[in-house]
Structure 1
Amino acid sequence: MVVVDADVHETMMWDVSRWLIASGCLYALAWGKDCDQWREAIDDAAQEAVNYEEVPEAQRVFVTAHEDEELEEVFWFARHRAIHPAHELNTTLILHIADAPRREELEAAYHDA
């Protein structure tokens, strides 16, 4: 999950997106500032990683943007509805991009979802 509370330079967005894909991300949910641009960047990074060729289902990366939803709803979706057809999603990373940390608050909200 990419939770964006700060403005991000496009270059950083692309670097982070490539890092997520290289790290094995299979399902990314973007929420917050410019979440649709984040969705596009992560999706493009996933396509770039396979040289823009047809992707086998096991390697497919699902990316969603949640522009008009409350963060708690996105956390609930991540915990209860996000699925991958070829892999069990059992690890969640909350990548919070912000000027001030909110780790405890975000982790509590995720676990309460």
Structure 2
Amino acid sequence: MVIVEAEGSAQWQAATSDWLVASGCLYMMAWGLGCSSWDDSVDWALLGAFRFEDIPPERFVMTSWHENETLDDVFFFCKQCALHDSVNLAQTVLLHIAKQPAEQRIMDVYAQA
């Protein structure tokens, strides 16, 4: 789950998307500032990782952006509704992009979802 509360450069976003794909991310949800660009960025990173050839079903990365939803709603979706066609999603990583850390606030909202 990518929580965007501060924007970075396009190059940083592309590098982060490459890292998400290389790290084994299977479902990337984006919320916040310019969140729709994360959907595209991770899609391009996935295509690049497989040299624009067939992607094995167990490595396919589902992507979604949640532009007009509350963070509470997106966390609920993440915990209760997000599924992958080929793999059980066993863990969630919360990537908070912000100028100031807000770990406790983010974790509290996630726990309540």
- Bucket of the pairwise TM-score, normalised by the shorter protein: over 0.9
Residue deviations 1:53-80 (CA, integer Å, cap 9, x gap): 1222212110001111111100000000
- Gaps (5+ residues) in structure 1? none
Which residue does 2:3 correspond to in 1? 3
* Length, aligned pairs only: 113
In the superposition, the TM-score normalised over structure 2's length comes to 0.96
Aligned positions of 1:65-84 closer than 5 A: 65-84=65-84
Residue deviations 1:11-44 (CA, integer Å, cap 9, x gap): 1000100000000000000011110111100111
Q: What root-mean-square deviation, in Å, do the aligned CA atoms of Structure 1 and Structure 2 show?
A: 0.8
Which residue does 2:86 correspond to in 1? 86
How far did 1:85 drift?
1.5
Indicate conservation of the 8 Å contact 2:46/2:61, yes or no: yes
Distance in 2 (CA, whole Å) between partners of 1:21 and 1:56 is 13
Q: Which runs of 4+ in 1 moved over 3 A?
A: none
In the superposition, the TM-score normalised over structure 1's length comes to 0.96
Which residue does 1:26 correspond to in 2? 26
Distance in 1 (CA, whole Å) between partners of 2:7 and 2:28 is 19
Percent identity, aligned pairs only, is 37
3-state secondary structure, aligned to 1:100: coil
